[in-house]
Amino acid sequence: MANALKLCCDVVRWFPVVFITAIVLWSYYAYVVQLCAFTVPSIAEKVVYLILYHPLLVLFMWSYGRTIMAAPGKVPRQFYLNKQDSDRLTRETNEEVQKAILMTAAKDLPIVNRTSSGLPRYCEKCKCIKPDRCHHCSVCGLCVLKMDHHCPWVNNCVGFTNYKFFVQFLGYALIYCLYVAATSVKYFISFWSGHGNRDMGKFHVLFLFFVSIMFGISLISLFGYHCYLTASNRSTLEAFRSPIFQSGPDKNGFSMGKYGNFVEVFGESKKEWFLPIFSTQRDGVSFPTRTKQANTYQTMGKTPSVGDGVNYPTRTVDLDSDGLLAERQRWMEEGGELGTGDSTGSSQQLITMSQD
């Protein structure tokens, strides 16, 4: 029964991908056959439209495919607690002992991010110390390296392994929509004003323009937002809650300047900026920071609770995996309605609750 339900969920999760693919296939037919072959009168115009259209479609579908297919970045073996330690940590009720177990486990790991109480971030579900910028995705059921969000439109986690492809997918999808809209607008107007008498073909061209404008408008803000995030070296999750460093929470902690931030995701070779080929720098586990970070083991436990004006409660367990705050975190990491609702209010409420 549980297996059937899981299978059902897995199938349903592919619906958005099937939907997007169907729209693109239909747009191919509407553009190439109905618009270019049957509607556009000039041969030269047909040829130019088709020559520009196909590379754009290939780049769009290629980056989309790579975003879907990329396996989410997995936490390396050395970040996992051994069975004995993880069992002890679960059983232990004494905070000091819990702290000691975590500190010992994190001793040789390359981490600078910590919880608000200055401890290594720990995932209770995966039983591992979270590498910097890593978060647990409740949809995927695992900790994902440099997790950005879980995107239903690609049925995958967007993170270290595919963030570049995701941004390219948004960019090429936007250009595709604008291109289709720009080249079909004059035929749209002529059909709309009652000229031309081909029945079905007319509807395909009318819809082609409508659909491309509609998707184009929604993509502008999404693509713009991810360009801004890339330029400031923040993930969607980090934009909502700043990573915590030795000096406290710092939303620009990983920022190496606009160009440096871009290169970190897109690589140094200009050719690779435009192609969906993996060129993201580093290993997804450790990242350069704006200020030099001291060795983690000696400095854990000494985080002042000052930073960007947010007062974090003193806690032993990382907010990500904590019972009281898990609800908000899960909501954030599922990539749900980010930015809607009163998140400040609810976090304030949760902080008050946790201080009781």
Cβ 323 to Zn ion, closest distance in Å?
15
Q: State how far the Cα of 302 lies from the Cα of 318, in Å rounded to an integer.
A: 15
How many residues make contact with Zn ion (CB under 5 A)? 10
Q: Of these, 143, 265, 326, 350, which contacts Zn ion (CB under 5 A)?
A: 143
> Which range binds Zn ion by CB under 5 A, 114-122, 137-145, 198-206, 284-292?
137-145
127 binds Zn ion (CB under 5 A): no
Q: Of these, 137, 181, 300, 325, which contacts Zn ion (CB under 5 A)?
A: 137
Cβ 147 to Zn ion, closest distance in Å?
7
Are 209 and 202 in contact by the 8 Å Cβ rule? The answer is: no
Cβ 73 to Zn ion, closest distance in Å?
11
Q: Of these, 30, 105, 139, 350, which contacts Zn ion (CB under 5 A)?
A: 139
Q: Of these, 106, 111, 157, 229, which contacts Zn ion (CB under 5 A)?
A: 157
Indicate the SS3 state at residue 19.
helix
- Specify the pairing of strand 149-151 against strand 142-144: unpaired
Cβ 137 to Zn ion, closest distance in Å?
3
Transcribe 22-78 into DSSP letters: HHHHHHHIIIIIIIIIII---HHHHHHHHHHHHHHHHHHHHHHHHHHHPPPPBPPGG
Burial per residue of 147-176, b for 16 or more beta-carbon CB atoms within 10 angstroms, e otherwise: bbbbbebbbbbbbbbbbbbbbbbbbbbbbb
331 binds Zn ion (CB under 5 A): no
Query: Residues 131, 134, 138, 140: what is their CA dihedral angle, to the nearest 10 degrees?
Result: -90
317 binds Zn ion (CB under 5 A): no
Give the nearer residue to Zn ion in terms of CB position, either 36 or 157.
157
Transcribe 263-295 into DSSP letters: HHHH-S-HHHHHS------S-SS----SSPPPP
Q: State how far the Cα of 166 lies from the Cα of 258, in Å rounded to an integer.
A: 19
70 binds Zn ion (CB under 5 A): no
Of residues 54, 58, 29, 47, the one with CA closest to residue 207: 29
Give the nearer residue to Zn ion in terms of CB position, either 142 or 300.
142
- Tokens representing 193 are 């004003």
Answer yes or no: 151 catalytic.
yes
Cβ 66 to Zn ion, closest distance in Å?
16
Q: State how far the Cα of 69 lies from the Cα of 27, in Å rounded to an integer.
A: 23
Give the nearer residue to Zn ion in terms of CB position, either 57 or 137.
137
Query: Considering 36, 134, 143, 151, which one is annotated as catalytic?
Result: 151
N- to C-terminal Cα distance for the chain? 41
Give the nearer residue to Zn ion in terms of CB position, either 57 or 332.
332
126 binds Zn ion (CB under 5 A): yes
Indicate the SS3 state at residue 106.
coil
> Which range binds Zn ion by CB under 5 A, 78-86, 150-158, 192-200, 221-229?
150-158
Give the nearer residue to Zn ion in terms of CB position, either 57 or 143.
143
Give the nearer residue to Zn ion in terms of CB position, either 126 or 332.
126
Residue 288's alpha-carbon distances to 163, 244, 264, 284, in angstroms, are 18, 14, 9, 11
Cβ 326 to Zn ion, closest distance in Å?
12
310 binds Zn ion (CB under 5 A): no
150 binds Zn ion (CB under 5 A): yes
Q: Which of residues 94-123 bind Zn ion (CB under 5 A)?
A: 123
Cβ 166 to Zn ion, closest distance in Å?
13
- Return the active site residues: 151
Contacts with Zn ion by CB under 5 A lie at: 123, 125-126, 136-137, 139-140, 143, 150, 157
